[in-house]
């Protein structure tokens, strides 16, 4: 059995660590690229959102590398992501791929359903070892998130263009190379040292922008045209409203690890504007925008794939949040038609707007 799972930012690093720790053979598809998207667009329904198209492309590229089992998250609720695993599987079957499908989703009747699926992938491993594996993967996710956060701080302040990117790449390689849980702390230390070695100009004035929106577009740099790097290059320190480890902690461990941040606070903040869940991360988008306004950020950018229902609901609410709390908000919608020049122009204009606003110190009418 060769297991493949779709790309979502740096998620592959921790899932790979977890599965390989459990002696499962893993095929990591090549990073999402134009070719991936092309494959997906060709075979997916036109109105499906970009994540589905990229997933499909990932699976097709992985098949060439010998993968035969798909592990995919499922779900329930108003967002259609819940049936993506099955739709993707059906499309692949029609195309002649012989994939086995394992969907990890909240059990409907009995916890045994979920456990059964995990056993199916991991074979004859003891539960104790399975839990250790999961913990290992989770710690890697935490490490990767920490490095990414450091890169967000460094990028607008670096004195040599591109230094942060290079440091982050080598720091991540350090984390990826770890194959035993006990080696992880040392590797993380090393990696953080690399990030700290980037020479910075700490006096430089920077703008702070919060990124909110749909989780896949937030985490996958290919789908958002590398917005974090682009903003960093324009002298903006970004903060992402969702980090992988926080999401795992909340959705898979039911918030087992305390004080980890996450969406609880954001959901409380959203209540004033949106009273109930709309699926996906609609609530969190509204709530995080409120939080960024309260924390004195200069602006917020919402990211979503075209046709994403929960985010469209949030998008229609954000103008009210923006006027009431006085924080500029811009929405960027991405799909395979997105042009880079258009995105860059909008980002530049938005950043200029924020910079001028900060300079004059005037409050908006």
Partner 1 sequence: MYGYLGIDVGSVSTNIVLTGEDGTVKHSIYLRTRGRPIEVVQQGLKQMQAALPGKIKVAGVGTTGSGRHLAGVIIGADIIKNEITTHAVAASNVVPGVQTILEIGGQDSKIIILRNGVVADFAMNTVCAAGTGSFLDQQASRLNIQIEDFGSLALQAAVPVRIAGRCAVFAESDMIHKQQMGYNVPDILAGLCEALVRNYLNNVGKGKEILPPVVFQGGVAANVGMKAAFEKALGFSVHVPLYYNVMGALGAAMLAREATNRKSTGFRGFDVADREFKAGGFACDGCPNICEVVEILESGQVIACWGDRCGRWSNALAHHEKIS
Residues 158 and 164: beta-carbon distance below 8 Å? yes
Q: Write out the two tokens for 106.
A: 């909240």
- 234 lines the binding site for partner 1 (CB under 8 A): yes
Cα distance between residue 343 and residue 180, in whole Å: 41
Closer to partner 1 at the Cβ: 104 or 343?
343
- 336 lines the binding site for partner 1 (CB under 8 A): no
Q: How far is the CB of 162 from partner 1 (least distance, A)?
A: 4
- 224 lines the binding site for partner 1 (CB under 8 A): no
Cα distance between residue 361 and residue 4, in whole Å: 51
DSSP string, 229-273: HHHHHTTEEEEES--HHHHHHHHTSTT-SSS---SHHHHHHHTTT
Q: How far is CA 125 from the centre of its chain?
A: 30
- 162 lines the binding site for partner 1 (CB under 8 A): yes
- 261 lines the binding site for partner 1 (CB under 8 A): no
- 357 lines the binding site for partner 1 (CB under 8 A): yes
Dihedral pair phi/psi, residue 330, rounded to 5°:
-125, 140
Q: How far is the CB of 333 from partner 1 (least distance, A)?
A: 8
Q: Which stretch binds partner 1 (CB under 8 A): 46-54, 76-84, 104-112, 155-163?
A: 155-163
Name which position in 93, 173, 204, 264 contacts partner 1 (CB under 8 A): 204
CA distances to 89, 158, 314 from 103, in Å:
10, 43, 28
Name every residue whose Cβ is closer than 8 Å to that of residue 141 and which is 6 or more positions away in sequence.
11, 13, 14, 244, 245, 248
Residues 335 and 308: beta-carbon distance below 8 Å? no
- 258 lines the binding site for partner 1 (CB under 8 A): no
Residues 336 and 247: beta-carbon distance below 8 Å? no
Q: Which stretch binds partner 1 (CB under 8 A): 33-41, 100-108, 133-141, 180-188?
A: 33-41
- 348 lines the binding site for partner 1 (CB under 8 A): yes
- 159 lines the binding site for partner 1 (CB under 8 A): yes
Cα distance between residue 262 and residue 157, in whole Å: 27
Closer to partner 1 at the Cβ: 111 or 365?
365
Name which position in 33, 100, 189, 199 contacts partner 1 (CB under 8 A): 33
- 342 lines the binding site for partner 1 (CB under 8 A): yes
Closer to partner 1 at the Cβ: 185 or 342?
342
Binding footprint of partner 1 on the chain (CB under 8 A) = 30-31, 33-36, 156, 158-162, 165, 204, 226, 229, 233-235, 328, 341-342, 345-346, 348-349, 352-353, 356-357, 360, 362, 364-365
């Amino acid at each position: 059995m060769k297991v493949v799972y779709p790309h979502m930012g740096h998620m592959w690093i921790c899932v790979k660590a977890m599965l390989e720790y459990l002696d499962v053979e893993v095929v990591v598809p090549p990073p999402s690229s134009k070719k991936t998207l092309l494959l997906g667009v060709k075979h997916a329904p036109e109105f499906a959102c970009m994540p589905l198209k990229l997933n499909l492309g990932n699976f097709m590229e992985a098949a060439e590398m010998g993968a035969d089992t798909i592990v995919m998250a499922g779900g329930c609720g108003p967002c259609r992501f819940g049936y993506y695993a099955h739709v993707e599987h059906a499309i692949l079957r029609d195309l002649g791929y012989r994939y086995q499908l394992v969907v990890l989703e909240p059990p409907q009747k009995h916890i045994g359903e979920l456990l059964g699926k995990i056993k199916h992938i991991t074979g004859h491993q003891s539960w104790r070892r399975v839990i250790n594996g999961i913990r290992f993967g989770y710690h890697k996710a935490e490490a990767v998130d920490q490095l990414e956060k450091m890169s967000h701080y460094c990028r607008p302040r670096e004195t040599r263009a591109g230094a942060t990117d290079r440091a982050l790449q080598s720091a991540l390689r350090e984390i990826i190379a770890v194959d035993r849980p006990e080696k992880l702390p040392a590797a993380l230390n090393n990696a953080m040292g690399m990030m700290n070695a980037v020479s910075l100009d700490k006096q430089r004035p920077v703008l702070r922008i919060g990124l909110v929106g749909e989780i896949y577009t937030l985490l996958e740099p290919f789908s958002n045209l590398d917005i974090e790097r682009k903003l960093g290059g324009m002298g903006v320190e970004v903060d992402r409203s969702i980090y992988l480890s926080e999401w795992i902690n909340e959705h898979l461990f039911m918030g087992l690890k305390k004080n980890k941040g996450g969406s609880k606070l954001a959901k409380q903040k959203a209540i004033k504007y949106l009273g109930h869940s709309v699926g996906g991360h609609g609530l969190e988008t509204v709530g995080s925008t409120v939080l960024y306004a309260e924390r004195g950020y200069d602006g917020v950018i919402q990211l979503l794939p075209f046709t994403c229902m929960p985010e469209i609901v949030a998008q229609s609410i954000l103008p009210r949040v923006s006027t009431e709390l006085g924080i500029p908000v811009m929405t960027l919608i991405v799909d395979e038609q997105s042009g880079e020049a258009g995105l860059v122009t909008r980002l530049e204009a938005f950043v200029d707007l924020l910079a001028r606003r900060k300079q004059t110190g005037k409050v908006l009418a």
